[in-house]
Amino acid sequence: MRIVLVGPPGAGKGTQAAFLAKNLSIPHISTGDLFRANISKQTELGKLAKSYMDKGELVPDEVTIAMAKDRMEQPDAEQGFLLDGFPRNVSQAEALDVTLQDESMNLDAVLDLEVPEDEVVKRIAGRRICRNDSAHVFHVTYKKPKQEGVCDACGGELYQRDDDSEETVRKRLEVYHTQTEPIIDYYKAQGLVVTISALGPVEEVTQRAMEALKRED
């Protein structure tokens, strides 16, 4: 299956993507994680991305689209993929359509995670990420690690993302409403959007998502 996951910052896209990708045996492709990996390796792309991410703005389309395309062309993505955080505006959605058409492929569904803004703010404020792997995501209240500040999965140090400050989160939400939400209408016109509530325990949201995706299959 080829799936796009959309939702505001802190909706739980990364959390759900990890379970969904495993259940569906497809790779989880997160442009945010790809940028963070570049930042920790201090590549030129990482330096450029950080200057935008720290302000809560989108990284320019040109580099983002090239990076996402390169990842989608890896052998493990031949049978499908779950995109998390890409596309993030209408031009990225159009670029994705062109890439898929060139390969005679199409999307199966766009899963839209709906969460009220006050919940998003709570989720982001308590989020802690592992230094070794940004897919290892915890929450100080909702998903407490066994030992404070230590990753359950690999023993790595947990830290708060630089872009999770209150001011940057406000900016990210504004960017979501103005630039990313329009892609929901773009995909509605293609009949691809399934909206689910992302409230409640993580496992319940995963179950809801799996049922919604089964209906689209």
Residues 16 and 203: their CA atoms lie apart, in Å, by: 9
Residue 158 interacts with Zn ion (CB under 5 A): yes or no: no
CB 69, CB 99: distance < 8 Å: yes
Q: From ligand AP5, Zn ion, none, which one binds at residue 9 (CB under 5 to 8 Å depending on kind)?
A: ligand AP5
**x/- letters, 122..151, toward Zn ion (CB under 5 A):** --------x-xx--x--------------x
The structure tokens 């570049």 sit at 38
Q: What six digits make up the tokens of 133?
A: 């792997």
Catalytic residue among 2, 50, 123, 172: 172
Sign of the torsion angle spanned by Cα atoms 51, 53, 54, 60: positive
Q: Strands of 109-114's sheet, edge to edge? A: 28-30, 81-84, 2-6, 109-114, 193-197
Q: From ligand AP5, Zn ion, none, which one binds at residue 130 (CB under 5 to 8 Å depending on kind)?
A: Zn ion
Catalytic residue among 2, 13, 71, 208: 13
End-to-end alpha carbon distance in the chain: 8
Nearer to ligand AP5, 130 or 213 (CB): 130
Write the burial class of residue 124 (CB in 10 Å: 0-12 exposed, 13-18 middle, 19+ buried): buried
Closest contact distance (angstroms) between CB of 147 and Zn ion is 12
Residues that bind ligand AP5 (CB under 6 A): 7, 9-15, 31-32, 35, 52-53, 56-59, 64, 85-86, 88, 92, 123-124, 126-127, 137-139, 142-143, 163, 172, 201-202, 205
Q: Is 2 among the catalytic positions?
A: no
The structure tokens 């199409």 sit at 106
Catalytic residue among 2, 50, 71, 88: 88
Q: Is 171 among the catalytic positions?
A: no
Catalytic residue among 55, 69, 143, 161: 161
Closest contact distance (angstroms) between CB of 82 and ligand AP5 is 12
* CA atoms lying within 13 Å on the CB side of residue 185: 8
Closest contact distance (angstroms) between CB of 177 and ligand AP5 is 13
Active site members: 13, 88, 127, 161, 172
